[in-house]
Amino acid sequence: MSQRSRELRPDVLEVLDRAQASGSTWLDLDGCALTEIPDQIFALTNLETLDLSDNGLKNIPDRLWKLPNLKSVNLIGNPIVSLPNRPGLTIDLQTYRLCYTQIDATNINLFVGAHISHEDADFWAVRPKVARGLRKLTVGTLNLRIELEHPKPSSAIWKILKTLSNCVALEELSLCGLYLENVPEGIRRLPCVKWLELDGLGLDRLPDWIGDLDIETFSAINNNLAELPDSFQRLQHLESLDLGWNPLDQIPSLVFSLPSLDSLYLRSCNIREISADVLQAPQLKYLDIHFNPIESPPAEITNNGLEAIRDYWRQRADTGVDYLCEAKLIILGEAEAGKTSLAKKIENPNYELRDREKSTEGIDVIRYQFPTAIRVNESGEERVLNRMFQVNIWDFGGQEIYHATHQFFLTRRSVYVLVCDDRKQDTDFSFWLQIIEMLSDASPLWIVQNEKQDRKRDINLSNLRMRFDNLRGALSTNLDTIAVWTM
């Protein structure tokens, strides 16, 4: 049976027409109130993937598989009573219970949702043979939400989890979005599993026996893992590893010793360094470290990808390490606020200001040096190095005509100072702080209140700091009378 065009919603007709016109290889008709498969689908000869989940379909016609390229059909959430025995079916446990005598378990990808009925769970528990031929199984949810905790499994779900060892032919297993805290023991007795996902399960650790599996793809995203067990090194055939959204803080060094690892995903793991150990994994082709506060190598290197990171560590190994003691200090503010006076005082604390300092036209750059000592750790040994620290002070003209050019010179990884004249009270703090935050990638910022003629002004610093995270504080001084300036 098929559903005629006049019985379909306008938005469904639009989707079908668009798929026909574009020759699409996939079609999503999820939740479209279908009771039969629309006629138009049988003409989509390029179709490979078809999603018919959450509809009202009861009977799936065998002629659907006359589409020459069709590989996958999602039928989850339909009240199905009749199925053809065809490969590529994704169905839920209720459908499997009603139709398991009609289909071969090797043809299906079985989904067991978090809210299954006890009737479905009992069907699984009392008929172990229904699990033996399964190749693909998902328990929990299909769409993981990244969050701290997920719901605890119901008693019906526990019946499934406690009998996982019955799935002796299982090749792909996904447990997703259930607060288990521990990995079910039955998994260690699955000899054929190659794909294992343990996502959003509230795991603090992985069991040592995980290294006894012969898996090729492993995922454990959105857990509480801080490290991997040493047994992980035994996963000689592991090709893809995803540990995103875990509090790792550093990349476990053992992952770079996995001989077959091709892809490594570490999103949002609070990682600050990609170590030189990456050179031990020449077979690694893809490294995803997005949304991590990487400090080493610098962002200019990591943004260029894995090979640039390798080149960075190779160069360091060849030429050694030097330490750059240099910073860029950018001074901004309205005209005659005291920006040039501040720059002169930093360069020479005893500099005597003129009655009327010449205003900066455009940008002046002053190079100021002072001796310093830095503490470094090399090969586990700590030592102190004496260096000259250079500050490149950029003094920007405050006249409004120059404001439009500021955007070309306000750079990230700089220190910013906003000078305001407390006597005039003409500084638009919201304007300046927003510009600095936007163009500097939230580089640190200080406000210097120049109390000309000893005039003081309350700038509501606490409110500004609530709005701008990069605002470190404010300093009040009279640049005309201060004898020594220290930052």
CATH code: domain of residue 348: 3.40.50.300
Q: Are residues 69 and 207 in the same domain?
A: yes
Residue 483 lies in a domain: no
Last residue of a domain, one of 274, 298, 318: 318
Cβ atoms 333, 459 nearer than 8 A: no
Q: Are residues 412 and 300 in the same domain?
A: no
C-alpha dist (Å) from residue 336 to 55, 186, 354, 430, 486: 70, 75, 13, 19, 21
Counted domains in the chain: 2
3-state secondary structure of 170: coil
Q: Are residues 56 and 77 in the same domain?
A: yes
Q: What is the pLDDT of residue 173?
A: 98
Residue 88 lies in a domain: yes
Q: How many residues does the chain have?
A: 487
Q: Are residues 294 and 355 in the same domain?
A: no
Residue 482 lies in a domain: no
Task: Walk along the chain (487 residues) and give the pLDDT tens digit of each residue.
Answer: 556 656 788 999 999 999 999 999 999 999 999 999 999 999 999 999 999 999 999 999 999 999 999 999 999 999 999 999 999 999 999 999 999 999 999 999 999 999 999 999 999 988 888 899 999 999 999 999 897 689 999 999 999 999 999 999 999 999 999 999 999 999 999 999 999 999 999 999 999 999 999 999 999 999 999 999 999 999 999 999 999 999 999 999 999 999 999 999 999 999 999 999 999 999 999 999 999 999 999 888 999 999 999 999 998 888 776 777 899 999 988 888 888 889 888 888 888 777 666 666 668 899 999 999 988 776 667 888 898 999 999 888 755 434 555 566 788 889 999 998 877 776 788 888 998 888 888 899 999 988 877 777 778 888 899 899 999 999 888 887 764 444 4
Last residue of a domain, one of 252, 286, 318: 318
Q: Are residues 286 and 364 in the same domain?
A: no
Q: Are residues 261 and 301 in the same domain?
A: yes
Q: Are residues 388 and 443 in the same domain?
A: yes
Which residue range(s) make up the domain with 110? 2-318
Q: Are residues 302 and 341 in the same domain?
A: no
Give the helix, strand, coil percentages of the chain, each rounded to 5. 30, 25, 50
Q: What is the pLDDT of residue 484?
A: 42
- Residue 166 makes CB contacts below 8 A (sequence gap 6+) with 128, 131, 132, 186
Half-sphere CA count of 472, side-chain side, radius 13 A:
12
Residue 396 lies in a domain: yes
Q: Are residues 374 and 232 in the same domain?
A: no
Q: What is the pLDDT of residue 3?
A: 61
In 10 A of CB 76, how many CB atoms? 23
User: Domain holding 262: CATH number?
Assistant: 3.80.10.10
Q: Are residues 345 and 298 in the same domain?
A: no
Q: Are residues 212 and 309 in the same domain?
A: yes
Residue 332 lies in a domain: yes
Residue 79 lies in a domain: yes
Q: What angle do CA 385, 388, 394 make, to 5 degrees?
A: 140
| Number of helical H runs and strand E runs in the chain | 11, 20
Residue 78 lies in a domain: yes
Last residue of a domain, one of 260, 291, 318: 318
Residue 487 lies in a domain: no
Please choose, from the candidates 173, 186, 244, the residue with its C-alpha nearest in 3D space to the C-alpha of residue 215.
173
Label residue 150 exposed, middle or buried (CB < 10 Å: 0-12, 13-18, 19+): buried
Q: Are residues 353 and 293 in the same domain?
A: no
